[in-house]
Amino acid sequence: MRILLVDDEVELTEPLSRVLTREGYIVDCAYHGTNGNELAQIRSYDLLILDWMLPGKTGLEICHELRHQGKTTPVLFLTAKDTLDDRVQGLDAGADDYLIKPFELRELLARVRALLRRSGAESYSTTTGRLVVADLELDVENQVAYRQGRIIELSQKESQLLQYLMENSKQLLTHVQILEHLWTEEEQPGSNVIAALIRLLRRKIEVGSESPLIHTVYGKGYRFGSA
């Protein structure tokens, strides 16, 4: 699962990002409201954690804009604003939850888990480190998958791709989204690398009479899950 954390307090953002990463989440950080809004527009996230007061564009404005566009990604506000009117304003803008600074880390992690469960994105167990979709199970840490009693050894890129697909099951993932998730701008892989990697992955996780899990949406990308 991918989380966008937008907060201009570096002394808060950096350690919080490390904690969330240790919990098994993929975390993107932005320290400016305008940059955070751009990331929220071009990438697919399972949760947005937004500071209210940000330079360029406030968290409130980012949330309101996303909701106006019809995007339903859960939003958790982190803010020092603690009056009832502030909380009402944040919730009316489309926020799903609200946490007052300073906060306990355990409470933040619990709220993150609750929001992801509520949205249906929480298919990852931080206890076992495994993802499960249909009859396929992925051991993220060890790059091994299991299906119908089979042990499936995966390369690093195959495991990363499968994790991304499973974390976003039932959602259309475009070629651009997959490229941005798996490779940095400096790497710039060839145009056919995604199709080649998908073929390799299919050969490993869809054997014999096993039902297809990776579905091609022609001209757009791929969708993962049972038919």
39 and 147 assigned to the same domain: no
Q: Are 166 and 123 in contact (CB under 8 A)?
A: yes
pLDDT tens-place string over residues 106-149: 888 888 888 887 765 545 444 456 788 888 889 888 899 999 88
Per the structure, the count of domains in the chain is 2
Look up residue 173 and give its amino acid. Answer: L
pLDDT tens-place string over residues 41-50: 888 888 999 9
- Residue range(s) defining the domain that contains residue 139: 125-224
88 and 149 assigned to the same domain: no
111 and 148 assigned to the same domain: no
110 and 155 assigned to the same domain: no
Rounded to two decimals, the pTM is 0.55
Q: Is 41 left (phi over 0), alpha (psi -120 to 50) or beta?
A: alpha
Residue finishing a domain among 122, 155, 180: 122
